[in-house]
Structure formats: structure tokens, C-alpha cells
């Protein structure tokens, strides 16, 4: 039973947002930016910004667009709040359904 609770805890941790991720998402609601621009505006290292953007992408909270302005990179923008929340809820429901099925196998 302990393993089941550990698994559930791990699933839920995937949905946790850090303060930095919340700040990045909030900034991207206002304008589309590159990781470097986000880094400068928020006073975070570019490495941390890229790491946080990767998590926000996995959760479906932000989107990116490949740009070529003499250099190739990505421009990030936040998905609208309602759309982003619906995506999160749907992902959570799917994961919990799968988790339920696994629990039923064990019990």
C-alpha cells in the first residue's frame, strides 16, 4: 500500500508549479518572449528559465514558436488561462484514471 501512495504522490508532484514557473507564466500572458528576454526581465538565470519553460510546456501551459531572426531560437507565449487550466485538469484526470487501473490490479 505504501508503494501506491508513493506513486500517487509522484503523479501529483508533476503538477506542482514553482514560484519561478508562476512568474514566467504570468509574464508570458502579457507578451511573447525568448528565454533570454524572460531571464533578463525576471532576474533568473537563462538555464533556470529554460528548465522551467520545459516543465510549463509539458503541462501545456505555454507554447513555443521557432523563429529565425539571423539566429534560430524559440519564442514562448502563455496559453490563455482558461485553456491552460482545462488542459491541466484533463491531464490530471487521465493520469488518475490510469493510476486507478493500476491500483485495482494490485488490490
Q: pLDDT tens, 88-102?
A: 899 888 888 888 888
Phi-psi region of 43 (alpha: psi -120 to 50; beta: other; left: phi over 0): left
Phi-psi region of 70 (alpha: psi -120 to 50; beta: other; left: phi over 0): left
Do residues 42 and 24 lie in contact, with contact meaning Cβ atoms separated by under 8 Å? yes
| CATH for the 2-106 domain, from 1.10.10.10, 3.40.50.720, 1.10.645.10, 3.30.160.100 | 1.10.10.10
Give dist(CA 23, CA 10) in Å, integer.
23
In sequence order, what are the beta bridge partners of 35? none
Residue 1: its pLDDT value, please?
67
Q: pLDDT tens, 23-61?
A: 999 999 999 999 999 999 999 999 999 999 999 999 999
Do residues 84 and 34 lie in contact, with contact meaning Cβ atoms separated by under 8 Å? no
Amino acid at each position: 500500500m505504501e508503494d501506491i501512495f508513493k506513486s500517487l504522490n509522484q503523479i501529483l508532484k508533476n503538477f506542482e508549479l514553482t514560484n519561478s514557473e508562476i512568474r514566467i507564466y504570468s509574464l508570458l500572458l502579457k507578451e511573447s518572449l525568448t528565454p533570454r528576454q524572460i531571464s533578463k526581465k525576471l532576474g533568473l538565470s537563462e538555464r533556470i528559465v529554460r528548465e522551467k519553460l520545459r516543465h510549463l510546456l509539458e503541462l501545456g501551459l505555454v507554447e513555443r514558436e521557432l523563429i529565425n531572426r539571423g539566429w534560430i531560437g524559440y519564442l514562448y507565449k502563455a496559453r490563455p488561462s482558461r485553456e491552460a487550466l482545462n488542459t491541466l485538469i484533463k491531464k490530471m484526470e487521465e493520469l488518475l484514471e490510469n493510476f486507478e487501473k493500476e491500483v485495482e490490479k494490485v488490490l
